[in-house]
Chains A and B, each alone.
Chain A
Amino acid sequence: MKTNLLALGLALFGAGAILGGCSGGSGNATPAGGGNGKDLDVVSFQGGFGIDFFQQAAKEYEAKHAGTHIKVTGGPRVWEQLRPRFASGNPPSLTWPGWGMDYWALIYDNQVFALNDALKTPAYDGKGTWGDTFDPSLLKLGEYQGKQYELPYHYNIMGWWFNPDVFAKHGWAVPKTFNELLALAPKIKAAGMAPITYQGQYPDYTIKGFLFPWVISVGGIKAADDAQSLVPGAWKSDAFLQAAKMIKQLRDAGFFEDGASGLSHTESQTDFLQGKAAMIPCGTWLESEMRKTMPAGAKMQFMMPPVADGGKGDPSAIMIGIEPWIIPAGGSNHELAIDFYKYMTSVDKAKQFVTECGTLTAIKGSDQVKLPPVLEEPVKFYRASKTVYSIQFDTWYSTLGTESKNAMAALLNGSVTPEEFVNRLEAAAEKVRQDKSKPAHTMTH
């Protein structure tokens, strides 16, 4: 009997601990935009760029505006700390919550302050409206039902990378088409390198690095827009099937690094920088992410993903992504938060960010500085591009995002055929279409 009680107690405690971990609370929200008007609580994701820049900007702003106190804090998984703050009605005044935050759930839940009126006010330096200072194509990404909720700061360009020294040494030309890639890959293998490696533990890199560039290359931008807009049949269109077949072809030919499916982003990127693989898909954050562990003398240069031969897509199409800032509706001192963000997005500060952090910003004219060498090529392609696009479906519809990653992992593992792959994606899209609780989004060009 004692044993029974003890065992039951253990079971109860174990299960109770789980349940306890899921409980949350609800509190009274701070009156929207309230506060004493002088204090600002800024919380930022602390990734490769750190938060020093924002802390310095806060100090400068305090010096210019007597009596203001701006506290900038951050963390590498800051969204986990922010969730309970939002739930309890105590969010920060201004935040970049990072890639792990479900921005759209916040927006649907009326937790984000709409900035349409603020964007009509003068810019920090007084030249034109604040809204005019942003690149409109990037600003558009944070809009929902005519309201501006997210504001871009920096943005990334997605593509492939190669080591120019290695290519020059072997006399290899950067492949511009898929057939050129297929012709080059055996030569790379013969030189003892894997032609391509990828971040296998995080299949979103290959969705953005292989799948979508080839979908667009085969079927044009409409094929991708239709899929993101959940047009019936779009996820199993011929463009998706062909793109999946191209990925399978590379896999079956042994052109991917062995074991890449088990590698993390930093492991695969290290392999690329150590010369174990010749090419890798990644965004323009690659250099800043790998700076500390980069082998001496390692070089990286941006290249466009090779396009499908005979495809009808724009070969100059280029993918960008933003990681936006928001002003929580329940945060304090909206006016001050807006003004501080205006200061951060002033052209001078944005230029400084480009120089110091080595990435591009959404502020017009901020790239009119001496760019870090690693950004020169991606900016050249970006400026020359006639089609700029962004992947949004995974944040709009998280279940579809997760299923696309799982299906991509299965395709790269060889456990599903391209046909099964596209059918899985279409089935996941259909589920989202049936879920009336998820607001619909449309992607157009």
Chain B
Amino acid sequence: MRNRGRTAFIITYLAPAVFLYALFVIWPVIQAVGFSFYKWSGLSSNKTFVGFDNFKSLFHDSVFWQALLHNAEIFIIGGFAILVIGIGIAHAMQGEGRFTKALRSVYLFPNIMSLVVVALLWQFIYHPRIGIISSLLGKPAPSKPGAPVVELSILGNGDKALPAVIITFVWFAVGFYIMLFSAGIRQIPQEVAEASKLDGAEGFFRFRKVTLPLLWSVGRIAVIYIVINALNVFALVFLMTQGGPDRKTEVMLTYLYEQAFVNSDYGLATALAIANFVVVMGVSGIIMRLTRKDPSGVPA
């Protein structure tokens, strides 16, 4: 009797959240899976069932793989930078010095800014003429025909555009990870830190042998967040480069946007969304599996 009452109590409290989650997350996901089997312009209710054709086209589409590779580059390069900078700054922020306090008050600024503002700000930084980088590196144009062309453009340059976007991605995202690691470091019991000090563990050695293993669980969460953010990056790329020049910054979701809103191919776009979902889930699953134990073999 008591158990039944407890169950009813739990159901009553869970039901609204489960209902809303089902309505706004689960149902759209199911719908999207359904749409991916159709040829559909997204401009009418006319749909033609095409089976797995959309997935087949995606599999044979070199642009999709190119976009996925760019997502992977953002994840690996950007993610590595975020982890290193995040842990480093979080560690440095544990002191009580004036600089540390100042750092604590500003590190989240980029993260709380609108992504649109971030994109505009960095567009100015990368601007071929008024941008700070071009101003520092720029040279006057060659005056003789045949002289090498001085290319001041960063976002318009195929080799520089993706690294430029990754830098912006790291700059925007890192504050959140500093906060995450900072909280993780504060969770480490004081006595552990003191005991390791007494045992002579100092500096980087202590960081590597004591702090890092104790941050393992937080690190796993951070990596999963980075997977989601890097594989689902859209607004930043769309606002800064629209995937260009010549698809050099194309990512899965900008390509999805192109299929849906430029090519009016909602079926293919939803197939791409499913592929994106599978990739995010797959990579997250692999990372969770690989990191289920910390380097010393203790389960996280």
Contacts and interface: CB of A to CB of B under 8 A. Distances in A.
Interface of A: 3-4, 6-8, 10-24, 26-27, 29, 80, 83, 86-87, 89, 100, 102, 105-106, 108-111, 186, 189-190, 194, 200-201, 251-255, 258-263, 267, 271, 398-399, 402, 405-407, 409-410, 413-415, 437
A110 B44 contact: yes
B126 interface: yes
Given A11-B280, A406-B244, 8 more contacts: A3-B300, A14-B280, A15-B228, A87-B42, A254-B143, A254-B149, A258-B128, A263-B156
B224 A10 contact: yes
Interface of B: 24-29, 31-33, 35, 39, 41-46, 126-129, 134, 138, 141-143, 145-147, 149-158, 217, 220-221, 224-225, 227-229, 232, 242, 244-247, 253, 256, 258, 260-264, 266, 269-270, 273-274, 276-277, 280-281, 284-285, 288, 292, 300
Nearest to A416: B246
A354 to B, nearest CB: 32
Given A15-B281, A102-B43, A406-B246, A22 B260 contact: yes
Contacts of A407: 246
Nearest to B130: A267
A402 B24 CA distance: 33
Nearest to A9: B224
Contacts of A22: 28, 32, 35, 256, 260, 266, 269-270, 273
A254 B28 contact: no
B276 A15 contact: yes
A7 B262 contact: no
Contact of A20 (B32, B217, B224): B32
B247 to A, nearest CB: 6
A27 B126 CA distance: 45
Contacts of B39: 437
A21 B35 CA distance: 13
Given A254-B147, A409-B246, A410-B246, A19 B41 contact: no
A259 B151 contact: yes
B244 A86 contact: no
B29 A19 contact: yes
A395 to B, nearest CB: 10
A97 B128 CA distance: 33
A8 B228 CA distance: 11
A347 B142 CA distance: 53
A406 B161 CA distance: 14
A74 B28 CA distance: 29
Contact of A10 (B44, B157, B228): B228
Given A3-B300, A261-B156, A262-B126, A83 B277 contact: no
A17 B41 CA distance: 21
A261 B228 contact: no
17 contacts: A4-B292, A11-B285, A12-B25, A12-B281, A17-B25, A18-B276, A19-B29, A22-B32, A23-B35, A105-B41, A108-B41, A110-B46, A189-B143, A252-B149, A259-B153, A406-B245, A414-B149
A24 B40 CA distance: 11
Contacts of B225: 10
A82 to B, nearest CB: 9
A413 B42 contact: no
Contact of B273 (A18, A200, A437): A18
A251 B270 CA distance: 40
Contacts of A10: 221, 224-225, 228, 284
Contacts of B264: 102, 105, 398
Given A87-B42, A252-B149, A260-B153, A16 B25 contact: yes
B142 A254 contact: yes
A253 B25 CA distance: 55
A254 B145 contact: yes
B261 A83 contact: yes
Given A7-B221, A14-B228, A87-B43, A410 B158 contact: yes
Contact of B242 (A108, A110, A201, A415): A201
B245 A410 contact: yes
Contacts of B127: 259, 262, 267
A409 B157 CA distance: 9
B209 to A, nearest CB: 22
Interface centre among B45, B152, B217 (most CB of A within 10 A): B45
A305 to B, nearest CB: 20
Contacts of A415: 158, 246
A254 B146 CA distance: 7
Nearest to B243: A406
Contact of B288 (A4, A12, A410): A4
A184 to B, nearest CB: 12
Given A13-B25, A22-B266, A262-B154, A7 B220 contact: yes
A82 B281 CA distance: 33
Contact of A26 (B24, B45, B147): B45
A216 B92 CA distance: 64
Contacts of A86: 43-44
A257 to B, nearest CB: 8
Given A10-B225, A16-B28, A406-B247, A259 B128 contact: yes
